[in-house]
A and B are shown apart, each in its own frame.
Chain A
Amino acid sequence: MSEPSSSWCNPMAVSTLGSGNLRDALKLPPGEDKNEWLAVNIIDLVNQVRMVFGVLCESECTDSKCPSMTAHGRQYTWTSEGTLLNTSAPQYIDLSLTACQNNVDDENVFPSEIGKQFPTDFEERCQAIMRRLFRIYAHVYFAHVNHFKAIKALAHLNTSFKQFVLFANQFQLLNKEETEPLREIIENLISFS
């Protein structure tokens, strides 16, 4: 499944859609509430990652092909009440997306009524969601980047991840260690923006 780094980090391969002004579109507008801006953008990213995985979940990322949730130099697992769960990659990702969606749908976490306040730990919750989404990107780039080339959607994947990275960087939602598995491709995406 894994590829040599030189292949998927090749600048020629890090193509994106015509999104020259994407960085500005993600900046916090003047006078806008920060939590409000975090909320509307994270919901957007959750939808994107769900579609990205939707392309793989039928035949590409299966229990037999991806028996463990792996990325470059990482293996991600879930624990429940102190017990380690041996989940396959599709199981791990399904649980991740379900957890993210539950947060987004929770009126007490992402309030949509006028006048309702965000929880005090809203930023921490956003960071947790971003970590989960990043790990899904990490596995996709580690194991399935060839498939996205085959379906001519690599530029779309790169654009989605670029939006993710630009947004995370603006609001410091991911630490450096967490993003180590995709450090090279991140540098390529940012430098080309």
Chain B
Amino acid sequence: MRPAAPGTTPNGASSDIRHQRGVAPIPFGSTNSAIDAHHNSEIRVGRHRAKLDEIRESLKAYEHEAGLLSSHVALGSLATPSSSSVSHSDITNDNAEVMNFSSSSSNAAATTTTVSSAAVSNSNSFRTEGGGHKMRITPMPQRHLMMDTGANETVFRSGKEMIRNGNPSTTISSTPSTTTEESIRIHPAGYRYDMPTPAYHMNNNAPQYSPGYSRPPPPAYDSSPVNTRMTPVATDNYRTHLHMKVHPVVKAPPPNPTMLNHNKNMAPPPPPPAKSTISIETMSEERKADNIQRLYHTSMDKKTASSVVSINVASPHTTKVNVGDSPLPSKSFIIGPRYTADVDRKNFVNYKDELRPDPRLIPSTSDANHEDFRPILFKPRNLEITMKSRAQPPPPQYNQPSEPPPKRVSSPIDRTLLEPYIKNTRRVQPCKPNMLRFYMEQHVERLLQQYKEREKRMKQLEKEMVSAQLPDIMRNKMLGLLQQKESKYTRLRRQKMSKSHFTVISHIGVGAFGKVSLVRKNDTRKVYAMKSLEKADVIMKQQAAHVKAERDILAEADSPWIVRLFFSFQDDACLYFIMEYVPGGDMMTLLIQKGIFEEDLARFYIAELACAIEYVHNVGFIHRDLKPDNILIDQHGHIKLTDFGLCTGLRWTHDRRYYGPENDHHRVDSFSLPPEVAAIDKSVKVLNVRQQTRRITAHSLVGTGNYMAPEVIAKTGHNQSCDWWSTGVILYEMVFGRVPFHDDTPGGTQHRIKNWRNFLDFTYCGNLSKECLMMIQQLICDASSRLGSHGKDVAERTAQVKNHPWFRGIDWVNLRKLRADYIYIPRVTHDEDTSNFETFQDNDRADKPNVRGLHNPAFYEFTYRHFFDTDSVGCPSLRPSRRRSLRPLLENGTFNESVSEEDSSSHI
């Protein structure tokens, strides 16, 4: 409340005071007219030439004043009569002054009496307003000084500035508020326009003052007419001073009305507002009311000239005394240099009086200087404020060109896609850096591989057609058919396979990482073997690399020695292999059934195993887990390798480092399951129970490593030759009816393998040939001297095995189509016949929580579809369909395959 009140009151006061100022200039003009009349009378006396010059200066001033008067007259018609009346009254007073001046001292006594009576009548108001009176005395010397040195117009405006600037000097606390008001006023355009004007006048005022004050002769000459014109003001000042010094109580009241009149006449509009503000703030409400009444009273006095005249007439002595005193100082001042008889006496008296005002004049001058300086400082501050405010916008504008804004590109998006955006859920799965590298590397390889395979198929077809000497029409037709098939294959690669596409018939096997089931495809009614691997198991047992290797070798295998892969896909829980179903059972089952093989049968099987191993090595893989369980027998008694679950490839895409933690450089051997895993894994238990039940001396436990090479067990590094060691162990088991390094515990078995020299026993060799024993000894031995270990390539190394004397008589080229009495032919009655496998009820673990979603990077590039699946049968061994026109050329690339198909037809 308080801060707002002062802000409001000054405006009101300012408005009232401005109204008063509007009237003030008129009486001042009248006063000037009176002065002019006085000078005219002096002309009649006939002074010296110097006097004439003074008169000329006064005439110039009069012309200026006339201009002001005319402007005031234009403002109002009533003002003119009032002014004229006042003018006449002044002239009469001047005459009276001259007459009274020659009176004796008795007049002075009368004057004293009159003043006393006036004081009594105004005593109450004087005492109440004592503080205000004192405050008003302070600015008077300043105005007097300015009027002495400046023109009338300058006096008005300079007075405004003086009084305004005087505020800071009188009241320090008011300065901040004043500055704030000024800063506020600067912002409006109107105020900005007004501000420069005062500054201009302030600058003009200073030069006028300095020259007049510094030059002795010109100031005396110039100041003379000014002093003459300002006689009434000087009179007031002199009289006030005199009375206060001689008779303070008696003489003070009479000057009040006159002083007020002069204050109003000469007071510029700006100064009073600030002054009034201070007064109002320091006065009580009653004092404020009195102040307002005083102002009104003063105005009334001015308007009622008759009242003034009556007062003067009522007390002629008082008037005479006042007028008589006033001329003396001015005249003495003008005639100072000349010392006449009468004048000398008067000068002495006046000289004493003049000394007393001097102390007041000097401080006023210094104050004026300070006040002149402060506004100059104030203005620059305003400019600085303006500059500061302006400084903010430019920088952004300047920076914009240097940084052009990016081009905005907007695209519409379906509202349905915004749901995860609103819920702030993300669908992109994080991916490890090493997984990205691995994926990109094998991805590029796959792109190039597919490109080469497609070209290979086309060239193969062209080659076949050339060899068949087909006519051009037929060749073009064949090419068209191939292209259609390729296009269909391209689409089928995008087709999403699912477990629901197959119906499970029975479970025919179980492994450490999953199970094998006999299934039928719903749409084609073809029978397959489906191998399921649980993702959680694969990840937990760190087998992702081996799964990838198995998928790759099965996908790329194009050999009768390897079980064929037709599809591979995945869902959240499992990885799936859809493979060729080989109905004859596995070698382990046959070993259990026959106990010991005849040497001819064993030689046949080992020869075919050698061919299979040669193929695996040629395509860059190491099986590492060759054992009777992984050797299947087809319906013609020939073998096929399967279950490459522990297989590892020689290419970088099967390096386990890509699947493990970022900084995992320690290789964990996949053959040794962690003890915790083995203890709780039901699959292992099931296998253990099954094997122990059926065969005590020839079981094959997961992780026991009966067929593993010693360098594999010792983890000292191994190469493809470890598969030949396994071949030797299988041969020993066939002809001796037991594994050579069997022990009751897995640790015991490993110990015997590492010290194979002490435990390889050839007792009870019976009827075995010398060459057969030699073959076993040359396979189960140190890697450095093992058959199949030396040579620059796979062909050379395998030749060491094939050229062994025990294989004398083997037709390697036609081995696949061999028919002999000693060959075991499994009994197969229908395509779903699983009698050669041990079926069992499987506890499906579909409820196991999945590790991650479908897009787990670890299982990228797993989905696969074989090119020849679209037309070929799921079980070529069981149900060969009738030959089609394109089939022999597209599918039976090799002579062996063609013979096989023919035999199949004849057999059925």
With A21-B448, A33-B487 in contact, is A99–B493 under 8 Å at CB?
no
In residues 385-433 of chain B, which contact A (Cβ within 8 Å)? 404, 406-415, 417-418, 420-421, 426-433
Contact status A75-B447, CB under 8 Å = no
* Complexed CA–CA distance, A114 and B479 (Å): 20
A40 at the interface (CB under 8 A from B): yes
B437 at the interface (CB under 8 A from A): yes
Q: Which of A87, A97, A113 contacts B428 (CB 8 A)?
A: A97
Which residues of chain B are within 8 angstroms of A78 by Cβ–Cβ distance? 410-413
CB distance from B558 to the nearest CB of A (A): 20
Q: Which of A148-156, A168-176, A183-191 contacts B (4 or more CB under 8 A)?
A: A148-156
Q: Which of A6-14, A53-61, A119-127 contacts B (4 or more CB under 8 A)?
A: A53-61
B908 at the interface (CB under 8 A from A): no
Which residues of chain B are within 8 angstroms of A111 by Cβ–Cβ distance? 491
Contact status A74-B407, CB under 8 Å = yes
CB distance from B617 to the nearest CB of A (A): 25
Contact status B495-A54, CB under 8 Å = no
The chain B residue with its CB closest to the CB of A53 is B428
With A80-B415, A95-B421, A113-B495 in contact, is A40–B490 under 8 Å at CB?
yes
* Complexed CA–CA distance, A90 and B420 (Å): 12
With A54-B436, A57-B426 in contact, is A159–B444 under 8 Å at CB?
yes
Contact status B428-A57, CB under 8 Å = yes
B464 at the interface (CB under 8 A from A): no
Contact digits for B479-519, partner A, Cβ 8 Å, 1 yes 0 no: 11011101110111111100000000000000000000000
Contact status A31-B443, CB under 8 Å = no
With A25-B448, A47-B860 in contact, is A55–B436 under 8 Å at CB?
yes
Contact status B444-A19, CB under 8 Å = yes
CB distance from B424 to the nearest CB of A (A): 8
In residues 158-181 of chain B, which contact A (Cβ within 8 Å)? none
Contact status B429-A54, CB under 8 Å = yes
The chain B residue with its CB closest to the CB of A135 is B409
Q: Which of A33, A47, A81 contacts B415 (CB 8 A)?
A: A81
Contact digits for A31-58, partner B, Cβ 8 Å, 1 yes 0 no: 1110011011001100110111111011
Which residues of chain B are within 8 angstroms of A112 by Cβ–Cβ distance? 491-492, 494-496
Which residues of chain A are within 8 angstroms of B408 by Cβ–Cβ distance? 75, 77
Q: Which of A53, A54, A79, A163 contacts B413 (CB 8 A)?
A: A79
Which residues of chain A are within 8 angstroms of B483 by Cβ–Cβ distance? 30-32
* Complexed CA–CA distance, A14 and B417 (Å): 35
Q: Which of A17, A73, A87 contacts B441 (CB 8 A)?
A: A17
Which residues of chain B are within 8 angstroms of A113 by Cβ–Cβ distance? 495
With A30-B483, A36-B490 in contact, is A99–B437 under 8 Å at CB?
no
Which residues of chain A are within 8 angstroms of B737 by Cβ–Cβ distance? none
Which residues of chain A are within 8 angstroms of B429 by Cβ–Cβ distance? 50, 54
Contact status A94-B418, CB under 8 Å = no
B855 at the interface (CB under 8 A from A): yes
Contact status B426-A84, CB under 8 Å = no
The chain A residue with its CB closest to the CB of B430 is A58
Total interface residues on A, CB under 8 Å, equals 67
Q: Which of A25, A29, A114, A153 contacts B433 (CB 8 A)?
A: A153
B435 at the interface (CB under 8 A from A): yes
* Complexed CA–CA distance, A112 and B496 (Å): 8
Contact status A95-B417, CB under 8 Å = yes
Total interface residues on B, CB under 8 Å, equals 54
CB distance from A5 to the nearest CB of B (A): 15
Which residues of chain A are within 8 angstroms of B895 by Cβ–Cβ distance? none
* Complexed CA–CA distance, A61 and B685 (Å): 47
* Complexed CA–CA distance, A23 and B147 (Å): 101
* Complexed CA–CA distance, A93 and B421 (Å): 11
A164 at the interface (CB under 8 A from B): no
Q: Which of B410, B417, B443, B490 contacts A99 (CB 8 A)?
A: B417
With A54-B436, A77-B409, A81-B415 in contact, is A36–B491 under 8 Å at CB?
yes
CB distance from B215 to the nearest CB of A (A): 73
In residues 60-117 of chain A, which contact B (Cβ within 8 Å)? 70-71, 73-81, 84-85, 87, 90-91, 93-95, 97-99, 102, 110-114
Of A58, A90, A93, most buried by chain B (CB within 10 Å of CB) is A58
Which residues of chain B are within 8 angstroms of A40 by Cβ–Cβ distance? 490-491, 493-494
Contact status A25-B451, CB under 8 Å = yes
* Complexed CA–CA distance, A119 and B494 (Å): 17
Contact status B441-A156, CB under 8 Å = yes
* Complexed CA–CA distance, A10 and B408 (Å): 27
With A22-B444, A93-B428, A98-B417 in contact, is A39–B494 under 8 Å at CB?
yes
A15 at the interface (CB under 8 A from B): no
CB distance from A167 to the nearest CB of B (A): 11
Contact status B437-A153, CB under 8 Å = yes
With A90-B426, A97-B428 in contact, is A151–B495 under 8 Å at CB?
no
B62 at the interface (CB under 8 A from A): no
Which residues of chain B are within 8 angstroms of A79 by Cβ–Cβ distance? 410-413
The chain A residue with its CB closest to the CB of B424 is A91
Which residues of chain B are within 8 angstroms of A44 by Cβ–Cβ distance? 443
* Complexed CA–CA distance, A73 and B403 (Å): 10
Contact status B421-A91, CB under 8 Å = yes
Q: Which of B415, B421, B431, B454 contacts A55 (CB 8 A)?
A: B431
CB distance from B743 to the nearest CB of A (A): 47
With A17-B440, A99-B417 in contact, is A76–B411 under 8 Å at CB?
yes
Q: Which of A114, A131, A135 contacts B492 (CB 8 A)?
A: A114
B450 at the interface (CB under 8 A from A): yes
The chain B residue with its CB closest to the CB of A25 is B451
| Those 7 A-B pairs whose CB atoms lie nearest each other, nearest first | A31-B483, A54-B431, A151-B433, A25-B451, A156-B440, A112-B495, A75-B406
CB-defined A-B contacts under 8 Å, sample of 7: A44-B443, A51-B439, A55-B432, A57-B428, A73-B404, A87-B421, A95-B421
Residues of B within 8 A of A (CB): 404, 406-415, 417-418, 420-421, 426-433, 435-437, 439-441, 443-444, 447-448, 450-451, 454, 479-480, 482-484, 486-488, 490-496, 855, 857, 860
- 12 further A-B pairs in the complex, CB-CB below 8 A; given A48-B439, A95-B417: A19-B448, A21-B451, A32-B490, A36-B490, A51-B435, A53-B428, A57-B428, A75-B407, A77-B411, A97-B427, A153-B437, A156-B437
Residues of A within 8 A of B (CB): 17-19, 21-22, 24-26, 29-33, 36-37, 39-40, 43-44, 47-48, 50-55, 57-58, 70-71, 73-81, 84-85, 87, 90-91, 93-95, 97-99, 102, 110-114, 131-132, 135, 151-153, 156, 159-160, 163
